[in-house]
Amino acid sequence: MPDPRPRLGLALLVGGGLLSFMALGSTPHDGLHPLALFAALLPLQLAALAWALLNRR
């Protein structure tokens, strides 16, 4: 039986990436604040951390 954890990790990574891109797209482009960029990238970073923890051997 295949291990379901890689699919869960990949789903988290893709979901975090989509959430990050949507958050970055909703910020105003005329006055982009660095903290808004960091906040938009946070879901992607957390999803990558969860992916790494689920795929460690």
Name the residue ranges covered by the structural domains of the chain: 20-57
Q: What is the mean pLDDT of the chain?
A: 82
Ramachandran sector of residue 3 (left: φ over 0; alpha: ψ -120 to 50; beta: rest): beta
Cα separation of 4 and 44, whole Å?
Answer: 21
pLDDT tens-place values along the chain, 57 residues long: 566 556 787 888 888 889 888 888 887 777 778 888 888 889 999 988 988 888 876
Over residues 4-20, the pLDDT tens digits come to 556 787 888 888 889 88
